[in-house]
Structure 1
Amino acid sequence: MSNSANLLFIGLPGSGKTTFLAALWHVLSDRSSSTTLKLRKLSGDRTYLNQITKEWRECSQVPRTNLQTEQVVVLHLDGERFGAFDLSIPDLAGEAFKQQLTDRRMSRHHNGFVQDATGVMLFLHPDVQKGTQLSVARRLEAELSASQKGDAATTSTMANTWSPDMLPTQAQLVELLQFVLERTQRRLRVAVVVSAWDLVDHLGAPRAFVARELPLLQQFLEANDDLFEHSIFGVSAQGGDITVEAKKQTLLELDDALKRIKVREDQHTSQDITKPIAWLLRGR
């Protein structure tokens, strides 16, 4: 078995990739939490990880990675049934994935990360309005109504202002996965991470949530089981909506920031944020 692994974090801007990495580094460096994977050491400069983790601990908005601040984090980990191994995680900008959708291309170093990937974490934010069947149907209905009324100006404006941003979220996520599949020569494991899970935990298990709200994505995952194996996790890395002051203060008053983390897989909930990574590594 190889003593190294390369995970690829993919997702649209604001999908929670950097926040997850900040919480992961806090948990691993704290060492007091009972997790499947343990940290042995970190290679390289800790400045970036320490900065985003500081923002996370203070319940501040973790700055999004942009094209100028992309980082590759190499963690030296250990775990029961895994042994000692090196884990490489590039923290790539969501804007880079948006460019894939709009320009139909990716940079050479992104292509290298994709080809080297031994597992993929696909992040999505539970924005249940954008990209659902209902919201798409209402938009199409409005466009059809304008066309039938002969509102040439409105119809023309709609046609001229269309952009890839108008694609349903689930269609964009499927496109991102297709980019990966086209460039890999091996069967991959894909861990789908529904971030900010605290917002939708009351709606059921993560797999049921994706099947109901993002049926195109779920069908794509199930129809391509010959190309990759997948599992779906709900992860609340912040613990709550930090834009609401009352909720933010409640989180800050906890005696241990680790208590903010919730990870749900099927019906089981824990505080082990390494679980999605451990699941991916079992497929090596």
Structure 2
Amino acid sequence: MSNRANLLFIGLPGSGKTTFVAALWHVLSDRSSATALKLTKLSGDRTYLNQITKEWRECSQVPRTNLQTEQVVVLHLDGEGVGAVDLSIPDLAGEAFKQQLTDRRMSRHHDTLVQNATGVMLFLHPDVQKGTQLAVAQQLEAMLPGSQTAQATSANTVPNTWSPDMLPHQVRLVELLQFLLERAQRKLRIAVVVSAWDLVESLGMSPHGFINREIPLLQQFLAANDDLLDHNVFGVSAQGGDITDEAEKQTLLELDDALKRIKVRHDQETSQDITKPIAWLLGGG
């Protein structure tokens, strides 16, 4: 008999949730690579999975899930240390989580998913152009009284009305986790997935190191609430590179096997096993 597991994928728009699901389905259905988890069967209509995976294979932009196309995927898996598991993964729209921040509430549907969750994957995109500690420091310095930037703009500047869109990225992530912890019925395992890991792997840091340096508020929140959650951090490059760069996209398409595009970093180990974060959530690692 199989165990039942319900994972919740959360993250803001563009954080990589749907791309991860597309690459995951390619790996599981291909069955040719060594992975911690193996697919035994799939329940339900696979049209949606096949559609997003086709886009992924062609290095096209995988369409983001919107509120009208939210899907629930049920995968029947087996793995060492995990056993047979019926895994439910709702691919929820990033806009739904953004609405939680703006409206300070979640839908009944999402609340049910949270209360039934046995594990959570929190996706974040490492924007190397904005939001880093250095960039934030420069912005704050520019606004200090007496700075040239502040003097040049203060005379004719009308203060903006505050909105949740002005919250720093890491504050939004912590808010999403607070929603979860308020409604969850059990201690949760949370796998933090730094997507598009290829953008930051040249920094020479582990995923934990990246979170510590660039998103310290999130790391502090996770550490401070270790009585309510266990967490681990993974770096995942599901696309393998920047598909908006035509030269890089062509290089990816020329690989003899699309599986080679996938990179998964955990601590100091790099592999192509995209099932690792899920296996850890299920207690297999």
TM-score exceeds 0.5: yes
Which segments of structure 1 move beyond 6 Å, counting only runs of 4 or more?
146-150
Residues 283/111 of structure 1: CA separation in 2 closer, same or farther (3 Å cut): farther
1:141 is displaced (CA, Å) by 3.7
Aligned to 1:252: 253
Q: Contact 2:173/2:218 (CA < 8 Å) preserved in 1?
A: yes
Question: Residue 272 of structure 2 aligns with which residue?
Answer: 271
One-letter code aligned to 1:62: V
Q: How big is the shift at 1:133?
A: 3.3
Q: Which residues of structure 1 form unaligned runs of 5+?
A: none
- Between the aligned partners of 1:136 and 1:226, the Cα distance in structure 2 is 31
Tell whether the 8 Å contact from 1:8 to 1:114 is kept in structure 2 after alignment: yes
Q: 2:185, 2:169 → 1: CA distance?
A: 27
Superposition deviation, residue 128 in structure 1: 3.3
What CA deviation, in whole Å up to 9, does each residue of 1:32-74 have, x standing for no partner? 1110100011111100000000000000000000000000000
Listed one character per residue, the Cα deviations across residues 47-105 of structure 1 (whole Å, up to 9, x for unaligned) are: 00000000000000000000000000000111112221100000000000000011101
2:153 & 2:270 partners in 1: Cα distance?
54
CA distance in 1, matches of 2:5, 2:186: 14
Q: Deviations over 1:137-160 (max 9, x none)?
A: 333344444777893541x33x32
Q: Conserved in 2, the CA contact under 8 Å of 1:128 and 1:213?
A: no
TM-score normalised per structure 1: 0.94
* Identity percentage of aligned residues: 81
Q: CA deviation at 1:135?
A: 2.9
2:100 maps to: 100
Unaligned runs of 5+ in 2: none
**TM-score, length of structure 2 as denominator length:** 0.94
The equivalent residue for 1:183 is 183
Give the aligned partner of residue 79 of structure 2.
79
Q: Secondary structure at the residue paired with 2:83?
A: coil
Q: Report whether the alignment pairs 1:127 with 2:144.
A: no
Deviations 1:111-151 (A, max 9, x none): 11111000000000011343333333333344444777893
State the shift of 1:272 in Å.
Answer: 0.3
Tell me what 1:164 maps to. 164
d(CA) in 2 for partners of 1:153 and 1:265?
50
Q: Distance in 1 between matches of 2:97 and 2:260?
A: 32
Helix, strand or coil at the partner of 1:84:
strand
Q: Distance in 2 between matches of 1:8 and 1:108?
A: 15
CA contact (8 A) 2:192 2:234 kept: yes
Moved more, 142-151 or 274-283: 142-151
Q: State the AA in 1 paired with 2:280.
A: W
